[in-house]
Amino acid sequence: MVINAAKKRRRIKPARAGFMCFALVPAFALFIVFNILPTLDVFRMSLYRWSGIGGDMKFVFFGNFKEMFANKVFWDSFGHTVFLMLAATALTMFSALVFAFILSKSRVRGKAFFRVVFYIPNILSVIVIAAIFANVFVGEGGLFNGILELAGLKNLAAVQWLSNKKTVLGCILFVMVWQAVGYYMIMYIAGMDGISESIYESASIDGATGAVKFFKITLPLTWEIIRVTVTLFITGSINLSFLLVKAMTNGGPDNASDVLLNTMYYEAYGNSNYGYGMAIGAFMFVFTFGLSLVISRLTSSESNVI
């Protein structure tokens, strides 16, 4: 489409084209220096054994990668990253859609109020959210355990949620969903508001229930937005999970909540193992790049179907 539009425009004079190139040079140079070169440098550094400081670097070729693929902590962290990515995406998208549907298409009192309330987590900084939920999940006197105790679940109320290997990842997942749901809900509401009421009315006349309207009208008509948001969220969740893990548990207890970016950070700085950290970084880059390709491939085939 872009090419067609360009063809239609009048031919650009060579002098003007030269000037345009000249004007583009600075931005392009900045892009190369601050984006492309550092990325390439990650790959270069991943081939070295280096403490991260000073000149004492040793070329080890794929040594760091070999070590990485043989390392249990790496695979555990990778597993946690993928789990959080998939589970958080599914839960966030589903709940955001349901809430958006309820708030835009049903007759709930105080819709505007709920829209604001759901959106609030999104304007809080991740550190604030981490601090709030550290207090919610505290074993002794935490809000969550207080609620469990009120509900009569004495045994559950004694669990230290963030210090228990079995529960910590679930807590991080909950916070991720809690944080993101409002933002995506607002996006979906915007999409749903664009659907004409008349379609719903005619469906009602045909006897459609709320659920039928949701699956047969709302979902198909907001599908475009859903596809974009899923891509955004999946790539964003890798960063979000790192921020939350860093602030809430730092990967503990015993790596039970470690995600790849956290392992990378620890190895590169805490363990003075910079080259290995960069190997994880390179792996992450390839992984997310591949993931984006897969998602965009899925979306393009979808757009052919619809």
Contact residues: other proteins, CB under 8 A: 19, 22-23, 25-27, 29-30, 33, 50-54, 56, 64, 67-68, 71-74, 134-135, 137-140, 142, 160-163, 248-250, 252-255, 266-267, 269-273, 276
Smallest distance from other proteins to CB 123, Å: 24
For 126, residues 6+ apart whose C-beta sits below 8 A from its C-beta are 179, 240, 243, 244, 247
Smallest distance from other proteins to CB 145, Å: 10
Contact 175, 84 (CB under 8 A): no
Query: Rounded to an integer, what distance in angstroms lies between the CA atom of residue 202 and that of residue 14?
Result: 59
Smallest distance from other proteins to CB 263, Å: 9
Smallest distance from other proteins to CB 52, Å: 5
Q: Pick between residue 8 and residue 72 the one whose CB is nearest to other proteins.
A: 72
Contact 239, 233 (CB under 8 A): no
Give the closest residue to 171 by CA, choosing from 137, 126, 145: 137
Smallest distance from other proteins to CB 105, Å: 39
Query: Rounded to an integer, what distance in angstroms lies between the CA atom of residue 174 and that of residue 221?
Result: 28
Q: Pick between residue 5 and residue 27 the one whose CB is nearest to other proteins.
A: 27
Q: Pick between residue 28 and residue 113 the one whose CB is nearest to other proteins.
A: 28
Contact 122, 182 (CB under 8 A): yes
Smallest distance from other proteins to CB 50, Å: 8
Q: Pick between residue 218 and residue 249 the one whose CB is nearest to other proteins.
A: 249
Task: For residue 139, give both structure tokens.
Answer: 């074993």
Smallest distance from other proteins to CB 8, Å: 26
Smallest distance from other proteins to CB 122, Å: 23
Contact 217, 195 (CB under 8 A): yes
Q: Pick between residue 101 and residue 267 the one whose CB is nearest to other proteins.
A: 267
Give the closest residue to 64 by CA, choosing from 279, 288, 287, 305: 279
Q: Pick between residue 255 and residue 288 the one whose CB is nearest to other proteins.
A: 255
Q: Pick between residue 210 and residue 252 the one whose CB is nearest to other proteins.
A: 252
Bridge partners for 234 per DSSP: none
Q: Pick between residue 139 and residue 210 the one whose CB is nearest to other proteins.
A: 139
Contact 177, 97 (CB under 8 A): no
Backbone angles phi, psi at 108, to 5 degrees: -100, 140
**C-alpha to C-alpha distances, 95 to 4, 178, 187, 221, 271, nearest whole angstrom:** 41, 10, 13, 17, 40
The residue with tokens 């392992």 is: 263
> Between 143-150 and 126-136, two packed helices, what is the crossing angle to 10 degrees?
40
